[in-house]
Amino acid sequence: MKKKTIIISISLFALLAVGFTAYENVYLKIGQNIDVFGRVYKEIVSNYVDEVDPEKFMRSGIDGMLETLDPYTVYLAGKDEEDIDLLTHGQYGGVGISIGVRDGALTVLSPTEGYSAYKQGIKAGDKIIEVDGAKITGTNPDSVRSRVRGEPGTTVKMKIEREGEKNPIEFTLVREEIQVNNVAYTGFVKEGIGYIHLDRFSRRAGDEIRQSIKELKAKSDLKGIVLDLRDNPGGLLEAAVEIVSKFAPKGSTIVTTRGRKGGEERTFTVAEEPVAADIPIAVLVNKNSASASEIVAGAIQDLDRGIIVGTRSFGKGLVQTIIPLNYNSSMKITTARYYTPSGRSIQEIDYLHKNKDGVFATTPDSLKREFKTIKGRSVKELGGISPDSVVTDIEHTPYYFELLRKAMFFKYATTYVVKHPVIDGEFVMNNSVMKEFEQYLSEQKFEFVEPAEKKLSELKEQMVKENYSSTSISSIDALVKQIHSEKINTFTRCYDELKNELTDELISRYSGEKGRARSSLAYDVQAQTAATLLLNKKAYDGMLKPKK
């Protein structure tokens, strides 16, 4: 017995010695490499033939190191810190405007209702030409954001050009603490079917979802809720946990995170009584639903608490932690993977392994393991959240995208509002407005090259190079001529999708972004399908049962 004890003691001592040696080796290598890195940095900054900016050079070195890891591990400094603050707290000091590039100019896309810019008369379509006396040049929205944002209570002067006004207009705007809403819109898809569109996951997301549920209950006999997480890139893990807690039974596992070391495992469970315990739920996802969105969708699916509708989500199963550094900087570092209640990881890409072509590794479907939901339904790992009901979104035409790219809907809406500054009730689309829009496109000399036209042009060019006969080339010319004659009818062929987009844009000018959201639900195929499934109890319940 003593001999066995001595052997065990020696073995443990040997293991500890190996462990300490391994740590010593790691720290020795860290020290050596920091010394080499510092020496290289110092020599280049001090002795390189041309003057090197020390800050930019160091930033390049840090970014270069981090690029060998995943794209979510990043160094943050300066304005990057503001973005982190916006993510975590959901607020910033500003005047309440959304800015983008339209027709080559920095333009107000929408003023936020209730804040300084909106109250003092800034409108969508206004082109920003000066901020605090500094002329705005270029097309980088950050050049305006950095000047407009600041300490609440301070003022900023903004000069704009507005269609229909001969001279620029100057505004003195007061910066306020802007609360960025996580819930973009709460309303109804169909009678009895509520709709909540969640844009982001900052600290107040859970409270906003709770409020939205209460609002829907107060307005209707609620038969179901559509939770829209499409195009939501995620945010705080804690916010995702709070949102699931509004729907799932108390005590349910929501998500588990596991770090590199064995003891770094945390399990998050529902710690409150849900406010929507028995209401059927459909969660909308698409390829841009990531991170916290997938935590919510994965938990709802694995707990068989609701159905997932749409297309497969992005596949980001990594957890980031923000670590403060010196000199007003920090680092966002991936510290763990997360696992849904069934135990699966939904991470799509293996960022530490590339193939011979430099493409990151992914696991083929045939090698993905199956896991089981609470009721025994099969779900797979490594590839995002697959919907229970696959519903693809409307595929828009190239003509529509070209109009969108050239901001034709936006510009026409700006012109229309100048002519019709006030309307009775909510805007209603009619054929005369659509005819006016078609005429506007003609006046603006809007040109569109059909994809088929472009391909035929490339084909003709290749045939000429390869000395094809004039007869063959003439046949291509005949096809091009036929396409040109068909192009006259392009507006008519795309009429419905153009009408929907223009309706949304015009409604947003009179009723704000909430008006746009309400309008777009009428032809939202995925939202309408989800609502139909929620109203069909047999179909809904059937989707939550294991397939035989």
Q: Which residues are designated catalytic?
A: 291, 302, 316
Which contiguous run of DSSP H or E holds residue 36?
helix 2-47
Q: Are 520 and 504 in contact (CB under 8 A)?
A: yes
CA distance 289 to 311: 10
Strand residue runs (E) in 312-358? 318-325, 329-339, 349-354
CA distance 92 to 84: 11
Q: Are 413 and 125 in contact (CB under 8 A)?
A: yes
Q: Are 407 and 502 in contact (CB under 8 A)?
A: no
Coil, strand or helix at 294: helix
Sign of the Cα pseudo-torsion (6, 11, 12, 13, in order): positive
Q: Which amino acid is at 274?
A: P
Report the chain's terminal Cα–Cα distance, integer Å: 57
The 10 Å Cβ neighbour count of residue 40 is 11
Q: Which amino acid is at 409?
A: F
CA distance 345 to 338: 6
Strand residue runs (E) in 212-296? 224-228, 253-259, 265-269, 281-285
The 10 Å Cβ neighbour count of residue 179 is 16
Q: Are 286 and 393 in contact (CB under 8 A)?
A: yes
What's the Rg (C-alpha) of the chain? 29
Coil, strand or helix at 74: strand
For the purposes of burial, counting CB atoms within 10 Å of the CB of 453, is it exposed (0-12), middle (13-18) or buried (19 or more)?
middle
Q: Are 536 and 284 in contact (CB under 8 A)?
A: no
Across 57-88, b (16+ Cβ under 10 Å) vs e yields: eeeeeeeeebeeebeebbbbeeeeeeeeebbe
